[in-house]
Amino acid sequence: MNTHLPEGLVARQSLSGLLDNVKPAAPTLDLQKYIALFRRRQTTFTIVAAAVFALAIAVTIAMQLWFPLYTGTATVIVDQHKQMVVNEQQVMGDLPNDAFTVDTEVAVLGSRDLAEKVDTQLNLDRDPFFNAEARPPGLLRPIKQAISGAINSLIDSITGKQEPSAAMKAQVAHEKVIDKILKNLKVTREGLTYVIDVGYRADTPQKAALIANTYADKYLLEQLDAKFDATERANQWLNSRLAGLRDQVVAADAAVERYKAANGLLSAEGNSLTEQEIANLNNQLAATRVQEAEVTARLNTAQSQLAHGSSGDDVGEALNSQVVQQLRAQRAEVSRQVADLEARYGPRHPELLRAKQQLNDIDNQIQSEIKRVISNLQAQVSVARQRTASIAGSLSQSKGTLVANNAASVKLAELERNADSARTLYQTFLDRFKQTSAQQGIEQSDSRIISRAKTPTKLSSPLWILNIPLGLIAACAIGFGAILLLEMFENRLFTSDQVESLFDLPDLGSIPMLASTINDKTLAKARLSPTNYVVERPLSAYAEAFRNLRAALGASKAGGETSQVIAITSSFPSEGKSTTSICLARVVAMAGASVVVVDCDLRRRAINMHLGLNPKAGLLEVLNGSASLEAGLIKDQLTNAYFLTASAEGGSSPRDVFSGQPFERLLQHLRQRFEIVILDTAPVLAVADTRVIAPKCDTVLLLARWRRTAQQAVEKSIKMLQFSGARVSGVALTQVDMKEQARSGYGDIGYYAKEYRDYYTQ
């Protein structure tokens, strides 16, 4: 049966239908949601953020009092300009001139090896700042050690590990000290320059400056030590290598000499003895042949002249004899005397005869001398020929020896090359050894200190100028994180967006808490009856909320039909079902429609309590036939609405009264008599009555208390109702604090309450 609602309700119903057909805009980043979230949780945010910020300030103060830190900074530069004391190539070259070199040196300054040397220099392992074991024993240390020892023993017994030795424990403690040293070191490069800042944090200003300067000094010393060690190692290696090379040179030379001696390849002045001997023999042979030819020529000349009857004058010249020449001179003198005597005396003159006799004697002497010289020449020719033959034989023998020596010289040349190579290598190593020996002791570091660390006068940690902003940022971040975390775990309903997104059902409105809709503080604090307030102030925001609810219920019926029989239920008790049923009925009645409210919650009888009724008959009596419907209906004197209570005072029924024919006949009768039938039912999760009643109704309105009812409970209730065949038209939130919703409940109409609050006249 279709009924007709009053004109105002139909208009609102049509408007709601039009609004439902409006397509939502494409999803965008809605900052208002996050603002609403913040406003909704601002108390939590304020508490958490304030606590975190206070903690940050407290930590800063505590650190300043008990753990102050100072930073000393030394500055070094990777120096590319060095003095050249000796113009020789260094064993360990200078650092290359590029950007990677500076970054490498930064890594060297931060190495564990350098930290070890600084620790050794300053005995930092005895400093309580670096070694917790060196601190004075506190009251809790024995307890902590006992607990730690017990835990470690338990772990070792479970895992089967043996307790570390004392040496291992000492090593672990030492490594912790080195870790602490490196933790407080900060090595940075100044931009793209060759300048490196070595900063160190410590608990006292003097210690910070001392460690920073020690780091810089050890860094430079490390470079010098590296170069010195490299040079020393090079010298040691070269020296040992030279000894071996020297032995190789001596052995190679000895092999050459032995081979020469064995093969007769001895030499002098660069030539072998055989070659020198052949040269000498050639010279001797040539000289001997010249001498032989000369002597033979003289002999042949003299013999030829004598054979032709020579007087001996020219023979003497040929023989080149001084004796013959002297005798010829004497003969010439004697011949002159003879000629003179012949001219003066006669042929028998004794003087002439003596002269002629003397001339004859001289001729005899000349002939004798010529014969002697010729005989001597013949002997000389014979000797010369023998000597020439002898020298020629020796020369032939030497040439044979030279041929043999040349064959042996191939091996000799190889031996000599080996000897020369060994000698050259030895000389090269010897020269390099002299160079490296000259460099030892004059090494220069590749860096230098341009600014030593001064004792700092200000704290480097904690820094108020840094900690306050960081604390504020952390406080805000943690505060936001806390409200986001709470929001993630929030399972209560507080906005219509939640209803629609979680349950895929329309949100049918929000029923406000009465006090939150009243501007008068005195009136708001008064104990007003919500069911009477909608009658006393029909133009109030509270009454308008129920008119909106009725409009939403009318628009929820498909095909343009209105919902005549409406079941109102909730998941739990005390969620406003009865108040909503009464107020909705009175608002509908004031609009001119006939309406009846049936109290189907047989256990609570909330209608009786809200309206102060004491009926003689109710729903139970009507259903069991002990009373008529007219006897059970009670007319509301304020609005002409009708109420059918659960039962008379004290009445009860152990059986299911809603699944039988009497209840269905009752609903049919009520449909014919009233335009709107409202069934105030029991909680869905509490009893099964509602699941029996709901399928018999046109629609079911599920109420959920604002920020109290869990999402899971509502979801469970919807599933149970739908499983029973009921048509759940939507969910409405009850007891909504409109003032709170206006501050933080973005997504509900209550968010805009401040915009239209003054619109209501009451």
- Express each pLDDT in 740-751 by its tens digit: 777 665 555 555
Residue 358 — pLDDT band, cuts 50, 70, 90? confident
pLDDT value, residue 15: 39
pLDDT mean across residues, the chain: 80
**Per-residue DSSP letters for 141-208?**
HHHHHHHHHHHHHHHHHHHTPPPPPHHHHHHHHHHHHHHHHHHTEEEEE-TTSSEEEEEEEESSHHHH
Tens of pLDDT, residues 30-89: 677 777 777 777 888 899 999 999 998 999 888 888 888 999 999 999 876 554 444 455
> In terms of CATH, what superfamily is 491-513+552-753?
P-loop containing nucleotide triphosphate hydrolases (3.40.50.300)
Strongest mean pLDDT among 61-75, 123-137, 716-730, 747-761: 716-730
Least confident of 380-384, 423-427, 560-564, 698-702: 560-564
Q: What is the pTM of this model?
A: 0.54
Band of residue 151 on the pLDDT scale cut at 50, 70, 90: confident
Let me know: does 714 contact 704? Beta carbons within 8 Å.
yes
Output the six-digit token pair for 190.
Answer: 């100044």
The reported pLDDT for the residue numbered 170 is 85
Residue 155 has pLDDT above 60, yes or no: yes
Which position has the higher pLDDT, 651 or 604? 604
Cβ atoms < 10 Å from Cβ of 324 = 23
pLDDT score, position 12: 39
Q: Once rounded to an integer, what is the mean pLDDT over residues 310-329?
A: 66
Q: What percent of the chain has a predicted confidence (pLDDT) above 70?
A: 79
DSSP state at residue 562: -
Using CA of residue 721, residue 726, residue 727, residue 729, what is the dihedral sign?
Answer: negative
Delimit the domains of the chain by residue range. 41-64+464-486, 69-129+164-234, 271-439, 491-513+552-753
Percent of the chain whose predicted confidence (pLDDT) is above 90: 33
Measured CA to CA in angstroms, residue 77 lies from 105, 209, 216, 451 at distances of 10, 18, 10, 9
State in Å, rounded, how far the first CA of the chain is from the last one. Answer: 37
Residue at 237: amino acid letter: W
Q: Report pLDDT for 737.
A: 87
Q: What SS3 class is residue 555?
A: helix
pLDDT at 312 (0 to 100): 54
| pLDDT of 632 strictly over 80 | yes
Question: What pLDDT, in 10s, does the model give residues 538-589?
Answer: 988 899 999 999 998 876 554 456 689 999 999 999 999 999 999 999 999 9
Decide if 78 contacts 102 (C-beta within 8 A).
yes
Among residues 736, 721, 754, 697, the alpha carbon closest in space to that of 498 is found at 736
Is the pLDDT reported for residue 195 higher than 80?
yes
Please state whether beta strands 642-644 and 595-599 pair in parallel, antiparallel, or not at all (unpaired). parallel
pLDDT (0 to 100) of residue 439: 56
Residue 244 banded pLDDT, cuts 50, 70, 90: confident
Instruction: Report the DSSP pairing between strands 565-570 and 642-644.
Output: unpaired
Q: Give CA separation, 625 vs 620, 622, 667, in Å.
A: 8, 5, 15
- Whether residue 426 is predicted with pLDDT greater than 80 in this model: the reply is no
The Cα–Cα gap between 561 and 373 comes to 181
The string of pLDDT tens digits covering residues 112-127 is 999 999 999 999 988 9
What is the model's pLDDT at position 472? 92
| pLDDT-based confidence at residue 18 (cuts at 50, 70, 90) | very low
Alpha carbons 514 and 528: distance in angstroms, whole number:
8
Is the Cβ–Cβ distance between 642 and 674 less than 8 Å?
yes
For range 705-717, the mean pLDDT: 93
Amino acid symbol at 233: R
CA 655 to chain centre: 76
Q: Average pLDDT, stretch 654-681?
A: 91
pLDDT-based confidence at residue 758 (cuts at 50, 70, 90): low
> Residue 246: what pLDDT?
80
pLDDT the model gives residue 694: 95
Please give the average per-residue pLDDT across 310-338, as a whole number: 71
Per-residue model confidence (pLDDT) at position 87: 47
What's the pLDDT tens digit per position in 407-422? 667 777 777 788 888 7
Tell me the pLDDT tens digit for each residue of 437-462.
Answer: 665 555 667 889 999 999 999 888 88
Residue 15 corresponds to which tokens in the numbers above? 């408007």
**CA–CA separation, 376 and 368 (whole Å):** 12
Please tell me whether residue 449 adopts helix, strand or coil conformation: strand
Cβ(659)–Cβ(692) under 8 Å?
yes
Q: How much is the pLDDT for 379?
A: 85
The residue among 177 and 22 whose pLDDT is bigger is 177
Q: So what's the pLDDT on residue 661?
A: 92
